[in-house]
């Protein structure tokens, strides 16, 4: 049961939402910006426009606040968080900073978003490793299939999406992380489609590197995100892409020519400055909203909405439910395959139901402010 006032949230932060303008069920593509986020970006840009109002302290404080909010959201410490402009940065950090070489095997599931495929293909090519994709047995990837691929002692890295972008299948990070730790395999996670509709506590599981952008389920601007690097790894890995603020003492602008390539002791050694400060100011506003509502409350609300879609599709002829039925095997995405996906999509667009089609399936992805009435309206249009 939802533990916040959905109507009050809509009125204050998403005043455009509703069938009269749009039923937005497309957060797996890009999430809208709350009103507070628009205001935060505008305020920061106002100071940027008149630079005498902008200070170095404000810029660095904005980034520090972002690390605090992210760390609290995912059960990490701030020294394990590096801010980044997108998920792909974090996957590349893993692909080119982890100790991978000839004879090593890199494993990912098949049917991943390309951001978790291409960096590993390139890393294998340049570093002499072997890259393997695990093929799903029944259309969507499952834990058992991934686990079986780890039995080869040459496997050095496993990189997965927590929730699959196309069909919404969810992997068990605790189970896979434990398996990787037992086998001394590095475990990398793309959390883009999981964090928001699901909660995460990295203090209770083994993940080496986790990357996530803010522009989808975290309701933040484009150009903001983060990468988590497990504390035990931070000082063992060196940056592949080097920024002038990666080293100790670099915030002291009075001695920038005292060149000393001594990395920071925390995950800031992996940040590639200059970051878009205004976008992180917006991300912070969105994360503060998520914390105010409660991440667990949001996850419960989204689960109720997606279950509504699953129940409807389970009893419907002519529409295949592609997403797993079991709640523990999915997140905030429900993918439905009608007989004619293109015609169905056109009908939904005509009815102002915002969605996407991925791999021949209509993808619906509701969020904290959507209502059961909106879901019913979308299903009626289907």
Is 190 within 8 Å of 119 (Cβ atoms)? no
Region of poorest pLDDT, from 246-250, 302-306, 330-334:
246-250
Q: Domain 44-291 has what CATH class?
A: alpha beta
pLDDT tens digits along 267-287? 999 999 999 999 999 999 999
Q: What is the pLDDT of residue 47?
A: 95
Separation CA 229–CA 234 (nearest Å)? 6
Closest CA to 266 of 71, 116, 85: 71
Closest CA to 160 of 152, 151, 169: 169
Residue 105, sorted as left (phi over 0), alpha (psi -120 to 50) or beta, turns out to be: beta
pLDDT tens digits along 6-37? 999 999 999 999 768 899 999 999 999 999 99
Q: What is the CATH number of domain 6-25+294-381?
A: 3.90.1150.10
10 Å CB burial of residue 259 (0-12, 13-18, 19+) is exposed
Closest CA to 133 of 125, 93, 118: 118
Q: What is the pLDDT of residue 18?
A: 79
Domain ranges of the chain: 6-25+294-381, 44-291
Residue 363 pLDDT greater than 80, yes or no: yes
Separation CA 25–CA 33 (nearest Å)? 14
**Alpha-carbon distance values, 233 to 80, 119, 156, 228, 273 (Å):** 9, 20, 15, 10, 21
Q: What is the pLDDT of residue 2?
A: 82
Separation CA 107–CA 103 (nearest Å)? 13
pTM of the predicted model as reported, rounded to 2 decimal places:
0.96
Kindly state the helix (H) or strand (E) to which residue 247 belongs, with its residue range: none
**Alpha-carbon distance values, 54 to 51, 249, 271 (Å):** 5, 22, 21
Cβ atoms within 10 A of the Cβ of 21, count?
A: 10
Q: Is there a common fold for 6-25+294-381 and 44-291?
A: no
How open is the CA angle 240-242-248, to the nearest 5 degrees? Answer: 120
The pLDDT mean for the chain works out to: 96
């Amino acid at each position: 049961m939802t533990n916040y006032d959905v109507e009050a949230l809509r009125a204050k932060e998403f005043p455009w939402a509703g069938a009269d303008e749009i039923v937005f069920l497309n957060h797996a593509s890009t999430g809208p910006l709350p009103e507070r986020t628009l205001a935060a970006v505008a305020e920061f840009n106002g100071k940027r426009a008149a630079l005498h109002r902008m200070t170095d302290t404000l810029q660095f404080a904005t980034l520090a606040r972002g690390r605090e909010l992210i760390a609290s959201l995912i059960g990490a410490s701030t020294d394990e968080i590096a801010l980044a402009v997108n998920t792909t940065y974090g996957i590349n950090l893993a692909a080119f900073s982890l100790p991978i070489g000839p004879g090593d095997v890199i494993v990912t599931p098949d049917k991943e978003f390309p951001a978790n495929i291409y960096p590993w293909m390139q890393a294998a090519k340049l570093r002499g490793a072997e890259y393997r994709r695990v093929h799903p047995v029944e259309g969507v990837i499952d834990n058992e299939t991934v686990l079986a691929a780890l039995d080869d002692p040459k496997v050095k890295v496993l990189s997965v999406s927590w929730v699959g972008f196309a069909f919404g299948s969810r992997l068990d990070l605790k189970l896979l992380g434990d398996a990787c730790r037992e086998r001394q395999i590095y475990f990398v996670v793309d959390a883009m489609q999981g964090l928001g509709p699901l909660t995460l506590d990295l203090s209770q599981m083994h993940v080496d590197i986790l990357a996530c952008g803010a522009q989808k389920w975290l309701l933040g601007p484009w150009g903001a995100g983060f990468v988590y690097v497990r504390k035990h790894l931070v000082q063992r890995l060196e940056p592949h892409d080097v920024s002038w603020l990666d080293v100790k003492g670099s915030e002291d602008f009075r001695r920038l020519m005292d060149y000393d390539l001594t990395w920071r002791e925390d995950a800031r050694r992996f940040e590639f400055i200059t970051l878009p400060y205004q976008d992180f100011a917006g991300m912070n506003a969105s994360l503060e909203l998520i914390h105010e509502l409660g991440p667990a409350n949001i996850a419960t609300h989204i689960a109720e909405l997606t279950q509504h879609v699953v129940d409807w599709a389970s009893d419907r002829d002519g529409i295949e439910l592609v997403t797993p039925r079991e709640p523990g095997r999915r997140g905030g995405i429900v993918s439905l395959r009608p007989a004619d996906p293109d015609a169905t999509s056109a009908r939904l667009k005509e009815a102002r139901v915002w969605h996407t089609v991925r791999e021949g399936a209509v993808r619906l992805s509701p969020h904290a402010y959507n209502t059961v009435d909106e879901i019913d309206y979308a299903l009626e249009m289907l």
